[in-house]
Every structure is written in C-alpha cells, then in structure tokens.
Amino acid sequence: MSPVLDEYKKYVAEHPRDPLAHEQMGQAYNGFGMFAGAEAEYLRALELDPKNADFNNRLAINYDEWGKTAKSVEYYQKAIELKPNHVLYFSLGSAYEKLGKFDDAAKAYQESIRIKPTFTYALYNLAVLDSKQDRPQEAIELLRKVVELEPKNIFAQHALGMFYVRTGEKTGAMQQYYILQTLNPKLAEDLLRLIPK
C-alpha cells in the first residue's frame, strides 16, 4: 500500500495546484478505505475547481462509504445542481433511504426515472420503497416495467410474484412461478411455498 500512496503523494507535491492530482490522490485513499485522507483531497480539489460535479460526486461517495450519510446527501445535491443525471438522483435516493427519509428517497428515484425511464435500478428501488410504505399496487406496476425491460432479472421476477401473493392475485403469482422455474428453480420453489393452495 505504502509505495502506491507514495507515488500519488509525490505527484500531488509536484502539482499542488492541479485539482485532478488531488482527485486522484482522493481516489487512492478511498480505494484503501482511508476515508479521512480522501475527504481532505477531494475538498482540496473542490477548492481549486468548485464547479466540478464529478468532484462533488466522489466526495459524496466517500462520505457514503464512510457512513457519513447526511454529508453524502449534501454533496450529491451539489453534484446534481451542477450536472443532473439519473445516476446521481439514484445515489441521492439511496442515501435518503439509509437516513429513513422515504418521501425524499421516492422523489429522488422518481426524478431518476423521469430522466431515464428505462433505468431499472431506480424502478426496482422505488418498488421496494413502495412496499415499505404499504403501496403494493404501485410496487407491482414498477416491477412489471422492470421485468418487461429485463425478463431475466430473477430478483424482480421473484419480487413481483411475492407482491401478487401479498395482494391475493394467485393467477399472477402462479405465472411468476412458471417464469422463475426456467430462470431459477430455487426461487420458484420459494415463491410456490407462499402461494395459497
């Protein structure tokens, strides 16, 4: 680890005014799980280039991995202000969900889907969130979109079957069972056990 970091440190020392050098140093620290060191380098990069959305995003990811989720929200929001995209809104939604702010998480996921309607990660996460908030029909509609886009997504197929069971739609649940039989027999059997005889 030390020789690798020493190379990065040497480069930063030779290029102290280069924001990319500090960003790369931050990435190196982050890669080794040295979150405080990464934070200092990303903040220095932002001092030198405050309008850089990527630097804000990297700092947000660092805080998220460090367990400082409230700080990650702050920097995801800054990155979004500078360069909004579906992935940043998805990351923001995930951070809000960790904080238990489900309404804010739902809004972020919805914005991600608005930007990219085929973004299955956001569709799936919003479905799970709807489940937590006791909105099974909304979750079913979202999961239908996911399996339409990704027919081999076994987790979405299984979750859809589970929601059919939960809402008493036995026919839908059995259809999911037959689909899962070809994709993942173990998950199919798990679903079948829950379908009322």
Q: What is the DSSP string of the chain?
A: -HHHHHHHHHHHHH-TT-HHHHHHHHHHHHHTT-HHHHHHHHHHHHHH-TT-HHHHHHHHHHHHHHT-HHHHHHHHHHHHHHS--HHHHHHHHHHHHHTT-HHHHHHHHHHHHHH-TT-HHHHHHHHHHHHHTT-HHHHHHHHHHHHHH-TT-HHHHHHHHHHHHHTT-HHHHHHHHHHHHHH-HHHHHHHHHHS--
Structure tokens at 142: 């979202």
Domains of the chain by range and CATH?
A: 1-76 (1.25.40.10)
Quote the crossing angle between the two packed helices 19-31 and 53-66, to the nearest 10°.
20
Query: What pTM value is reported for the model?
Result: 0.92
Identify the residue whose tokens are 């040295």: 34
pLDDT in tens, 1-58: 578 899 999 999 999 999 999 999 999 999 999 999 999 999 999 999 999 999 999 9
How far apart CA 182 and CA 179 sit, in angstroms, is 6
129-147: average pLDDT? 95
Q: What is the pLDDT of residue 1?
A: 57
Structure tokens at 125: 């996460």
